[in-house]
Structure 1
Amino acid sequence: MFRPSRKFWISLVFIFGSCGVLAYALFPFIKTELYRETLERGFSAAMGRAVSLEGPLSLTFSLHPRLILEDVSVSNPPWTSHPHFFRADRLEIGLSLGPLLQRRLEAEKIAFEGAELFLEEGAEGLDNWTFRKDSQPGIVSLALPSVFMTISERGEIIIERSRVRYRSYPDGETTDVSIHRGVANAPDDQHRKFSIEGTYRDSPVNIELIGGRIMDLFTLTEAWPVDGVLLTTGASASVKGSVGGADSDQMFELQVRVEGDRLSALNAFLKVGLPDSAPFMIAANVVKTPDAINLHDVGGTLGASDLAGQLSIEHGGRGQKITGRLTSHSLQIHDLTSLSDVKGSQKEPSLEQPESNASASMSLDVDLDVTIEKLLLGETELGSLSLTAGIREGQVLLDPIQMKSFGGTLQANLDVDLKNSAPRTRLKAQVRSFNFGQALEAFGVTKDIAGQSNMDVLAFGDGTTLQELLRRLNVDIRTDLTIFARSDSHPENRLPVASPQLSLRISKGGPIEIRGKGTFQDKTYGVRLMTASLIEMIESKKPWPVSLTAQRGEAVLAATGTLNPDRSEMSGTLGVLLKGKNLSELHADLPAVGPYQFKARVTKEGPRYRVNDFQSRFGTSDLAGTLEVATENNTPQFTGILHAEHVNFRELSTPGDSPIPTEAFNAVNGNLKMIIHQANIGELKLADLIVDAKLHAGLLTVKDLQGTLYNEKSSYGSFQGRLDLDTTKPIPSVSGQMTLKDIRYEYVFSDVDFVNPKDHVINLHANFSSDGATVDTLLAQSTVTLTGHNIQVRLHGGTNRREPLDLRSNLLVESVTGGPLRVYAEGQLENTPFRLRFSGGQMSDLLDNKGFWPVNVRADVPRAMAEVSGYVDLPHPGENFSLQVHV
């Protein structure tokens, strides 16, 4: 017969003993339904709120027992809008076995599923998350005071499929946060680590936070530490500080920093309509007391803009009061004015207060000082700005607004009345000593204008949004006497323009219209400019339409086209027309020729200008072609090709005593080619004239100058040469050379009977040089030499002689520094050698064609000589002369 061993009995006793001990420990919880009311009273007493356990309660037995509660809720204070502060579909509590054997409940793990937390603010600083403090050390059942429930120092909390709802005061707006999964554990005895993955306003949210113990958060008798990071799409926020504390009136003190790669990343998260702009950052030390929120050490950046200062938001019985001072070292307007289309949850920037919050808006007082040291528009510095902003009883007032810009000052005030359904905005400003020359240069329009003006500005409109305001805006800007001129170092070149009044008008958000009248060189002028509306300039990506008309005397200028809004260089294309009766009415130095008309299509792309489809007509001359000017370097560079059917240079000639424009020659570089089918230079007629010129650093080189001399019937010959003009010297100098080919001398000396002139062509070579500050001086002081070698012609000696004569000769014509004109010829006539000398008066007198010009001619042949001397009246050479003949 089998006898149980001693070990068997010992094991059996141990098992039954353990079961007995476990049954003793768990006896109060086996029939949990009997203790529902007791547990509810215990939880309620500990939290200071009514706790309800509506669902089934159960306890699982294992080495890690679990207490499961379903349909758990914690009530809210009576003043709140929701009955529950907290509720959960399922609450699972993992218990420690050791304390459980001692009839103590110690939670190792708490898991919430389907939980909802309702947070709400109330009047006078109330909130529903501040609990009545209880000195009881733990959660205790009043019926069974020996049963305690505490959370293990290393306990863990898990939250799944839950939600937090927050209702703000006074607007009553509700905000929801969905928690897909959240975990809280204890890295040490004093801190808890929280990790949350969820969704906030359709944006994914990840939170990593280290704080104090969870139960301390309900009492806040000591400062509860906070150190965490929030991540969402395109943005992040970090928070560090503390909440609560027994010895301080501060509700919390937090160092907050928010940053992201674009401002619009906050739109869905904050339910706003921020533009899709540059990277941003904002940081502040936020201190909240029962009566105020103070923001210390505020600092932020948005693209190239920065901001720093202090803010205070006080809560009083009559509403909120905001005071502070903000300073920006650099503020980029492009960082703030993007008005891209708002999609989804984004809102259009609004000036209107919701009707339901009208009373709230009336109780908001604001006093804010703003200083901007450098205001930028793209790369253009506009100046400095300071303003004081205030809000009183539904009225926004910016007064004063002070600005220093382009050498001038601005004093203004802005008033926005929010009491109407469509807020009404009114701006009044005075601008003094505004230097528009600096402004035009800064915006890349021109560097050649100088002047300043005073102006008065009045603008008003109404609208619930910024776009609506711009569509209804009325603007009236008027100036007093304005004088502007070219920014030239020489007073005679400044050409001042006086305008008694200029005006800019915008009517009901329509196109911008600028009008002006004044005087220029003792003649009145009028100008009118029409362009896009403000809303089109700010909101549209399309080119702006531009229409300009101006008239001065008989001269009319018209320009129509578009300007590109997305480039700071103000690129665009304009069709330009200039016409009038006489060119000299534009400027006294221009030739008196007319009528005239110039047409072209001018395109500006960055620093380059292109003139296409250029066509002109002035007097009997015409000119057409293309030009391009590049201004990216210090010295502009131009290139162009011009062609003409006919040019009358006599019509286009300017007074010879006009100074050579040396500054203009040194101000630009370029290459220009001209092709002229027919041209007139005084009595000379040219055909197929080609001029290929290069200008660099004040040196003008005509490297190819060619054409044909002709009369009405036939050609006199062709020419080809080059010319160099040096304007870098104190006195300009010119030099060059010319070759005359295939001279048809039979047409020059039509009274002579030449024999087969085509078989005996003549070629001549000329050199010339001169110095002078004017064209007249260059001609009067020129040195000219004309040479011909082996000249051979055959001609009939007269009507009685039939045999032709054979003439062979060398030729030299010269004038040194404008001195007497001399001609030397040596050769043979038939077999008789000869030498011919001619001496005349000054070359300048011959060019001027005035006065009595001395003449001396001597011819030498073997054993004979003939000489003629006297003078010729140049204006009437065939009528008035005196000659003496000596043989």
Structure 2
Amino acid sequence: MKRVWRWSAGVAAILLLLVMGLMLSASFWLNAQRDALAVMLSETLGREVSLNGELALDLSLNPTLVAEDVAVANPAWATRANLLELKRLELQLALLPLLDGELVVKRLLLQGGDLMLESTEKQGGNWVFAAGKEAETSAVSSEMRLPGIDKLQLEELRLGYRGGGTTPTILRVKRAEASLSATGELLATAGFEYHSVDLLGRFSGLITAAGISDARLDLKTEQNQLHAELKGEQVTWKVTANSSDELSRLIGAYLPEGASADLQGASRLTRPGVQFFDLKGWLRNLYGFDEFTVADGSVKVTGGRVEVDLNGLLEQRETRLQFSLGEGQQTFAEAANWPLEAGAQTDSDRLTVTGSIIPGDQTVTNLTIGLEGKELSHLPLLEGKLRKTGAFRIDAQMSAEGSQVAFTGINAKFGGSDISGALTLHLDQMVTRIQGGLQTKRLDLAPFFSPKQKPRKVQTGTKKVPQKGLFDMPLEVPWPESLALDLRLSAKQVAGLALPLQKLKGRLKIEGKTVGIGGLQLRLDGVPLRGGLQMKNGEMLTADLTSGPVALEKIASLLGVTDNLSGDLQQIQLRFTGNGGTLGELLAQGELRVEASAEHIIVGKADGSSSLDLAINRVQFASLNGKNVTLNAEGGLWGESFNLQATGPELTALVQGQSSLPVTIKITLGKTQGALSLHFDGASGKLNGPLSFSIHCPSLQTLSKLTGVALPETPAYRLEGEAMASEERVAFSKLRAEVGKSRIVGDLQIGLQGDRPDIRGELRSEVIDLTDLQPFFAGEAQPQEGLPESDWLFSGHSMKLSLLSHFDMNLQLKLPKLVHGNAPVGSMHASVELSAGELHLNPVVVKLDSGGSFKATASANVATTPPQLAVQLKVSGFDYGVLLDRLDVTQDVDGSADFEMDISASGWSLRELAAGLNGHLVLIGSKGHLKNHDLPFKLKDFVGTLLPQMGLKEEPVIELNCLVNRIDFEKGVGYTRSMLIDTTKLTIAGVGEIDLRDETLDMILNPRPKELTLISLTNPVKLEGRLHAPSIKPTKLGALKTIAGVAAGIANPAYLLLAFGDVGVSEENPCLAAVKQTEVAAKARQGVGGLTEEVEADLTNQLDRVGRTIKKVFSPLEQILGLEQKDEIEREKAKAKASPTISPLLEFE
């Protein structure tokens, strides 16, 4: 206090001189001596003082000095020029005490000032003044009392402090008043602003030469207060903080919203420092902790070390916190770094922190942190928010500068997860922000999702409390609002979910109640996905996900589809937005859209055959604002456009799996339209009640592009019915098929319990109009544009006969009314049985109203390789003339015939079956006639070409007496040995073969006119070439000898009898009767040389009996059939060269 006395004595002396001068010359003198006064003040303070403004003096018993623009300079080392800058100073003194050398200040006003206190470790404080001359020469008694100040006023004064080059701390005093008695009693009140917080303060104490004693301090803000009392060497204090916002600004560090505190304790100055003890109270909502109750604690601070030891309850768990900083050998100012050790211990967890703090202009903290325990979910921040994970350990390196904390080398292991990465914490904001990136080889998300609750057993008599379902659970992610997260994440594998996720990348942001994932990239079972989602707990959810190509083979495998499925869904895009606090509310009010496209999809069989070629332009699944879900699809199927529109139940009902969910489907494929209507059980996926369906199309020709086959133009067709499915069977009822006027109804049932589906039922026709079916058999249809044209009559494409091994069948087909337009045709019924790949049609019976009947049986066995087929057909009394008339084919053909067929073959295609055909065909026709000029085009053209080649003219009407023919097939080659056609003017014998292996024809037709004048003009002709377009040309004897296998039928006449005898026709058929007579002649003459003459005579006699004469039809057969010996052939050739005849093949009686 000695310096204070010197300063007071010097000021008193100066003021005394001023008073004397002022009394002489007043203010004029003051301003004239302003520089001298400034010099005197500078010498007194040891620091330059500037009086830059006007000086004024009010003379009275309490003279008042007014000075404006006053400045006191700083020492040279300070950061700014002046220690104090003051706009106005008013000093009012008591005059009489001043005459006695006593300084009594009546009033001191400091207005508009700026005082900046600075200190450094080396220079000390800028408020320490050097002793001036006056101080050196003046001797002031140490017993002098303090100057009394009746009233000290501070207005709009800026007080600041800067220590060690740091950012200055600023206190803005709005208005303050204080008084200091001569005995040292100080009383002060003030209103000031600190860090934008308004404070009210009151201080009282006693200032003596020994210091301050018996002091009391009260500070208040709007919601916080501090009370402290100094008694002796001990300070007791209490802090109550209810506003984290105000407290954060006051201490210069962020405290979470809602943080509060109530702490009390005592402190004492010790020789090496200060000690805080008897610490008690609580902290709440601090950095995610609900509450930390301090039961006992102490803090020791010395010049080089700080030690903290607190015991209490952290989230109701006994916890001990220990902390030490500095080594104590050096002061904090002297030490280059401050070692740090900290730890927290609970009953199951332990936190250890080691490292150091490096002081300086930018303090740097480097720490090593380790956290381990028995259960991650027991940590205070996570308790009750996670499922159990088991033991865990987290290690990291931490460095901090200012309010930024960085964690590097993070290695965390818990549950099935192994995480590494780096994080940065920003503590200078209202919410602690965590930024960085984490990587993991395996991330187990199971602890972050609540497990499905097991149903509890309810005791008898206890009321059952309904449990919340999935749709009632709140939609939220547990996360403290005091933390904000912004992380880049990557994981090679994600576990804990029902979906297989790999290669996950994204940016996770959590702030407040909002959770967002942006830049999301992952693979779902190998399928790439990208997009993002955002959720606000209890309020809304938005999601946008887009997939890369999805291999349909994988989808087929997941669905259990056995057919080959190739192609990719090019892109699947999902968008969802909705408001609600639960999943049920989101689905009921949200908008969901799923879109996909595919360039090319092929569905084929295991054998490589393709059955479906599909292109999808767009598929969209949508649910808007809780309305019924819709599915729309557009694309092409084998070049034909298709459109599908489906409407289902509400999305909530669909996901909840309600018991009866309606679905309607409309399908358009080109011009074909179909519809389905059904109800199904959402829980089991099974149908509730029958499924109704319908299909209709204007013509089958519209499906030509779809099938790749030139389908004919047909009447409109329609198929409708109902289907009902169960585990045992699928039943079709109310089936109705319509094509034009034709209608078929019936019921079918498909059994599902055996190794194969078993189809059973009965189909009945109300009427079948053959005109509706006629386009299927029209032969003039031209190939469709873009479709290949083949020279083969029999297709080489597989008939997919293997399909017959996939199901069994027992079907009855009844068609009681067959018509052709308005003309009745007949009736038909058939029985179809299929079992284990063996098909039997037995019988197929057709009765014609015009006369005659068809009866056939057929079988196929696809269990063998290749499949085997067999057909037996017998037609009796068939009046083809009436039938052709009623079928509107022609009215210019009439007659009747019998027909028999018994054939078998094996193969996968029609071409293979034809190439291996075995069996025979027999045709016997009776009287009839043909009007040649009205024949169908192809037949008329053939006859018109054939007759001239035989040397005959075309007849307008051909009267048919009879015809017989038998073709025997062996391994695809058919041999005709006994063709006989007789008309009123012509008899034709034919022999040859038909090779179905290459679809070629090699046949001789030998005509014999009944008019002798025409005999010399007729010639045999040869038919050869492809079956669909044979060539017709005359031939000679030598060419006929190359026909293989023709001789058998004539060398043994009994062959002809056997060939036709089993048909069972009347003896009145002249051709058959003539053939039968050959057997009688053959028995009389067995020699080859006389055989032909006998055959000729018998045939002639038989034909003459019905008014017709066949002249020596078989006379040249000896030569035609090649029965003569080699030398005879040579003789015949020589004879032909010597004396040629008009018709060397014919001889006459």
- TM-score under structure 1 length normalisation: 0.52
**Aligned residue among 868, 875, 880 for 1:734:** 868
Paired position in structure 1 for 2:254:
none
Paired position in structure 2 for 1:149:
none
Counterpart amino acid of 2:579?
A: D
Paired position in structure 2 for 1:770:
905
- With over 3 angstroms needed to count, the CA separation of the structure-2 counterparts of 1:436 and 1:470, relative to structure 1, is farther
Counterpart amino acid of 2:296?
A: R
1:165-314 counterparts in 2 under 5 A? 240=348, 253-256=372-375, 282-285=389-392, 296-299=412-415, 309=419
Secondary structure of the 1:518 match is: strand
Paired position in structure 1 for 2:974:
819
Paired position in structure 2 for 1:131:
295
* CA deviation after TM superposition for structure 1 residue 717, in Å: 7.5
Counterpart amino acid of 2:567?
A: G
Whole-Å separation in 2 of the counterparts to 1:120 and 1:609: 72
Counterpart amino acid of 2:748?
A: T
Could you say what the CA RMSD is over the residues aligned between the two structures, in angstroms? 6.4
Paired position in structure 1 for 2:571:
454
* CA deviation after TM superposition for structure 1 residue 577, in Å: 1.6
- With over 3 angstroms needed to count, the CA separation of the structure-2 counterparts of 1:119 and 1:723, relative to structure 1, is farther
1:644 and 1:676 in contact (8 A); partners too: yes
Whole-Å separation in 2 of the counterparts to 1:551 and 1:749: 44
Larger Rg over CA atoms:
2
Counterpart amino acid of 2:764?
A: A
C-alpha distance after superposition, 1:757-798 (max 9, x if no partner):
xxxxxx99974222455436635752224899xxxxxxxxxx
1:355-504 counterparts in 2 under 5 A? 361=481, 363-367=483-487, 369=489, 371=491, 373=493, 385-392=504-511, 395-405=514-524, 408-416=527-535, 423-436=539-552, 438-439=554-555, 441-444=557-560, 447=563, 449-452=565-568, 453-478=570-595, 482-487=599-604, 493=610, 495-504=612-621
* CA deviation after TM superposition for structure 1 residue 709, in Å: 3.9
1:225 and 1:243 in contact (8 A); partners too: yes
Secondary structure of the 1:283 match is: coil
Identify, as 1 or 2, the structure richer in helix.
Answer: 2
1:18-97 counterparts in 2 under 5 A? none
Which structure is higher in RCO with an 8 Å CA cutoff and minimum separation 6? 1
Whole-Å separation in 2 of the counterparts to 1:525 and 1:349: 42
* CA deviation after TM superposition for structure 1 residue 555, in Å: 0.6
**Aligned residue among 596, 600, 603 for 2:717:** 596
Identify, as 1 or 2, the structure richer in strand.
Answer: 1
1:730-879 counterparts in 2 under 5 A? 732=866, 734-736=868-870, 738=872, 767-772=902-907, 774-775=909-910, 778-779=913-914, 782-785=917-920, 814-816=968-970, 817-821=972-976, 842=994, 858=1075, 859-860=1077-1078, 861-862=1080-1081, 865-866=1095-1096
Whole-Å separation in 2 of the counterparts to 1:428 and 1:747: 74
- With over 3 angstroms needed to count, the CA separation of the structure-2 counterparts of 1:299 and 1:677, relative to structure 1, is same
Paired position in structure 2 for 1:702:
839
* CA deviation after TM superposition for structure 1 residue 711, in Å: 2.0
Paired position in structure 2 for 1:514:
631
Whole-Å separation in 2 of the counterparts to 1:512 and 1:449: 27
- With over 3 angstroms needed to count, the CA separation of the structure-2 counterparts of 1:327 and 1:563, relative to structure 1, is farther
**Aligned residue among 695, 719, 738 for 1:617:** 738
- With over 3 angstroms needed to count, the CA separation of the structure-2 counterparts of 1:606 and 1:473, relative to structure 1, is farther
Counterpart amino acid of 1:411?
A: R
Whole-Å separation in 1 of the counterparts to 2:551 and 2:689: 25
* CA deviation after TM superposition for structure 1 residue 412, in Å: 0.4
* CA deviation after TM superposition for structure 1 residue 550, in Å: 1.7
* CA deviation after TM superposition for structure 1 residue 692, in Å: 0.5
- With over 3 angstroms needed to count, the CA separation of the structure-2 counterparts of 1:653 and 1:542, relative to structure 1, is farther
Unaligned runs of 5+ in 1: 1-75, 85-117, 136-164, 169-174, 176-210, 228-239, 260-268, 275-279, 301-306, 751-762, 789-810, 826-836, 871-880
* CA deviation after TM superposition for structure 1 residue 631, in Å: 11
Secondary structure of the 2:555 match is: helix
Secondary structure of the 1:532 match is: strand
* CA deviation after TM superposition for structure 1 residue 413, in Å: 1.8
- With over 3 angstroms needed to count, the CA separation of the structure-2 counterparts of 1:382 and 1:353, relative to structure 1, is closer
Secondary structure of the 1:131 match is: strand
1:508-587 counterparts in 2 under 5 A? 508-566=625-683, 574-586=691-703, 587=707
* CA deviation after TM superposition for structure 1 residue 255, in Å: 0.5
Counterpart amino acid of 2:974?
A: G
What percentage of aligned pairs have identical amino acids? 11
1:614 and 1:625 in contact (8 A); partners too: yes
Secondary structure of the 2:849 match is: coil
* CA deviation after TM superposition for structure 1 residue 449, in Å: 4.5
* CA deviation after TM superposition for structure 1 residue 623, in Å: 5.6
Question: What is the number of residues matched between the two proteins?
Answer: 599
Paired position in structure 2 for 1:266:
none
- With over 3 angstroms needed to count, the CA separation of the structure-2 counterparts of 1:408 and 1:225, relative to structure 1, is closer
1:670 aligns with 2:807: yes
Paired position in structure 1 for 2:859:
723
Whole-Å separation in 2 of the counterparts to 1:882 and 1:629: 67
- With over 3 angstroms needed to count, the CA separation of the structure-2 counterparts of 1:126 and 1:603, relative to structure 1, is closer
Counterpart amino acid of 1:350?
A: P
Whole-Å separation in 2 of the counterparts to 1:332 and 1:764: 79
Whole-Å separation in 2 of the counterparts to 1:568 and 1:371: 36
C-alpha distance after superposition, 1:806-844 (max 9, x if no partner):
xxxxx998443341345799xxxxxxxxxxx99686497
2:261 and 2:284 in contact (8 A); partners too: no
Whole-Å separation in 2 of the counterparts to 1:223 and 1:440: 58
Counterpart amino acid of 2:566?
A: A
2:657 and 2:681 in contact (8 A); partners too: no
* CA deviation after TM superposition for structure 1 residue 373, in Å: 3.2
1:371 and 1:387 in contact (8 A); partners too: no
Paired position in structure 1 for 2:830:
689
* CA deviation after TM superposition for structure 1 residue 252, in Å: 8.3
- TM-score under structure 2 length normalisation: 0.41
Counterpart amino acid of 1:256?
A: E
Unaligned runs of 5+ in 2: 1-237, 243-259, 264-280, 300-311, 324-341, 356-366, 399-404, 456-464, 780-792, 883-897, 924-964, 981-988, 1004-1025, 1033-1045, 1047-1070, 1085-1093, 1101-1109, 1116-1148
1:459 and 1:474 in contact (8 A); partners too: yes
Paired position in structure 2 for 1:757:
none
Whole-Å separation in 2 of the counterparts to 1:489 and 1:602: 29
Counterpart amino acid of 2:814?
A: H
- With over 3 angstroms needed to count, the CA separation of the structure-2 counterparts of 1:640 and 1:375, relative to structure 1, is farther
- With over 3 angstroms needed to count, the CA separation of the structure-2 counterparts of 1:130 and 1:417, relative to structure 1, is closer
* CA deviation after TM superposition for structure 1 residue 508, in Å: 1.9
1:443 and 1:569 in contact (8 A); partners too: no
1:394 and 1:417 in contact (8 A); partners too: yes
* CA deviation after TM superposition for structure 1 residue 556, in Å: 0.2
1:408 and 1:431 in contact (8 A); partners too: yes
